[in-house]
Structure 1
Amino acid sequence: MKSAARRRQACRRQQGQALVLGMLLAGVAAVALLRYFAVGQVVAAKARQLHGLDAAAYSAALVQARALNMLSYINRAQVGHQVAMAHLVTLGSWASLGGTEARQLGTGNPPAYLIAMLFGADHGAAYLAASSASGMENLAAIHGSLAGAYAAHDRTVHDVLAAVQDEIVASVPQARLAAARAVLGQHYPESSNFDLSISDDNWEGYVRRYGARQILRPFIVEAANMYKFLGPRNHTASNPWVVQARCPWLRHELRRRGATELDASGRWQSLDTQSFHALRSNKWIGCYYREYPMGWGWIPPDRQASAGVPHVDDPPEDFSAQDFWRWVQQATQWDIVFGDANPLANSRAVAGRPSWPGRGLADYIDVGADGSRGEALRFAVRLQHPGPQGLTVVTHSAAATFFARPDPRQDGRHELPSLFHPYWQARLDSSVPSQSGSERRHE
């Protein structure tokens, strides 16, 4: 009995010791729980910040893509304005041709019935139809509106489009940063101050300005060649019967000549002429062609430009006081036997040329060396933002702007990036690893 009592007393003395251990375990569990809770807060803050930064980086890359696409549309607009200017100078030379042909028709030099008899009723009817263009030879009246429209295109090309391209290129770095900050502002409506920085950026030098003669000029010529109105306007009609026994292989000819060209300085010109070449013969030079100009018109790039065709600067008004062939021998080097031009009509076109001032092709912006090799336009972003538990959460992201056709080329060839097709797109860039971290804030 005494032994049992002693055991009971010993048990009573040991009561409460388990409670101490339990309290210790509860404290450790609470600390662990608080720690895991804090870690969860940091992880959630990191995830939220990384999602927001990815969206901001993508938006900044999208700003770049839109800028490059806008530059592409402007380059294409440059081409469109040049094609329009080519049409205007061609309309100008055609107007002059129609007006001078109406005047020659009115004087009967040559008469319409002769043209119809030698070359057919269609040519005769076409010559008679020139009467509806009477008055168009008045250059001041007809060319005023055309020259004004030409000058307006020239101002748009040089003073508007080129300036807009420069402004776009200069504003892209600031615009993409503003876009990224705007997205972060939507992602963090409770905050307005973001420590955001951009690095590993190859925008500088990715695009550059080129002289128009390097690539733009051939591109414009190719685009103009798609329009038949701007193509060569050359046609020769011959009468069917023998005219001179000395040269039975030669015939009277009706020569229509015309062309629209972009000269070496990047300015348009258009020349249109039509002449009746009557086959003649004499004992001094044998067979030759006597030219009767029917119509002419030339819109030069400037008053001092050379026509680039056989002509003289001051042709006679008529040849009533001298022989045509003798004057040609004395004053020119024309081939009036085997030549195929309208040199006298050319000369009158040159003598009556108007002045349509223009500054030629404007320089344009295209991708530089990096872009021409197919490299994407990349950058990395870093964001520091206050997080839980007094930490500063640091996240990284990266994005790229790249060139990709929506559909493969029909010829199967690979197309390098350029600023003539608006095929620029944006993506997050996995080539720059996305990192995240946290730092204790130092007060």
Structure 2
Amino acid sequence: MRLTILGGGGFRVPLVYRALLDDPGRAVSEVVLHDTDPRRVAVIAEVLARLAQGHPAPVPVRVADGLDDALEGAGFVFSAIRVGGTAGRIRDERIPLSEGVLGQETVGAGGVLYGLRTIPVALHIAERAAALAPEAWVINFTNPAGMVTEAMSQVLGDRVIGICDSPVGLVRRAARAAGADPAALADPDRTGYDYVGLNHLGWLRSLTLDGTELLPGLLADDAALGSFEEGRLFGGDWLRTLGALPNEYLHYYYFRRETLDSVRDTRETRGEFLDQQQGGFFERAAAAGGPDAVYALWERTRLEREETYMAHSREVSGGWQRDSHDLEGGGYDRVALALMHAILGNSGTRLILNVRNGTTVPQLAPDAIVETVCEVGAHGARPLPCAPLREDQLGLMLQVKAVERATVEAALFKDRGAALRALALHPLVDSPAVAARILERAAKEA
């Protein structure tokens, strides 16, 4: 089976390929890379060649000659594009910050700006995939994952599924902090969890092992909460008040003033850091002198990237270092492979995914994309019923979903009114006048 990776020059593509090489149930016979930047994809192909060295059965890799060549004949398509590159991300961050509101890749005004730029390209990909590979499953990594998946689903229906590694990371860390045997996490007969929300906006509300609920004990134990990222990020008092473990990105909402203060006058945004770091990597890699040197450079750069993830939010909550478990770099790759195997094997595996709501959250439209626990088989991903949402959870979900759907509408129909509505209604944008200025400046600098 052919696996196509769109955004094949992306920095994290080697993580996917490494997981494929280590996969005992290998189903992929060829990896096809497509990217709009030939230099980047050539460097990443060299990293993959180094990973394949000495492997008894390496997966062949080919760089496609255009999008249609990449899509034709694909069984699975991993879409991990960055429209506008890191330069676009810098604008998404700096323009809102200049107006005194948060600038971030997927959250707030920055997320809306990124969505407006990305959705038209994602829709074109969806249309070409539907025409050239109608039986393929499209797995969307592209941020903002919720709204991009929602736009693509208008063409592909349930054959597009969005993934994110934040929820599975939260479950894994919480279970480890609660003392659960790591082997038990892989056994669906022993473990259960209730997670629901939108992409980068969700809550782990239940975690069970052998029928015993672990979450209340974990929330009551400050030492255990202090042993993992979300516990340190939000603090025991607030987590006990919530009665749930939030996705790490909810820190931008719950601690908006503190986070904004930490980034407002920053010398270097996350986008600027990645622009320099990854730009430097690709420049040095081109002259590194062989796959071994390129791979070593990539591994050093990857570790630095993981160590600095969400640094501003960690600074607000005490300035702690990330755990070694979370520096391994595995996340998206493991979720994507588990999803692929569950579809091919019709296994009924439970995964947290971005899918159409159906009746999971009755207050949302059936076609709205939510992030929740799904059962995955040959039919794709089916969201499982969940307990009712609390009013505060539901209220935030409804408001941010309105923002996402307005962003999709604005991108589809070039509707300035919808774009203004998306920006002005976001909980992290405090004035329609600010929203209008952000929109005007973004249009000028595009």
Of structures 1 and 2, the one scoring higher in RCO (CA 8 A, sep 6+) is 1
Question: Taking structure 2 as the reference length, what is the TM-score of the superposition?
Answer: 0.21
| TM-score, scaled relative to structure 1 | 0.21
Structure ranking higher in strand proportion: 1
Whichever of the two has the greater Rg, that structure is 1
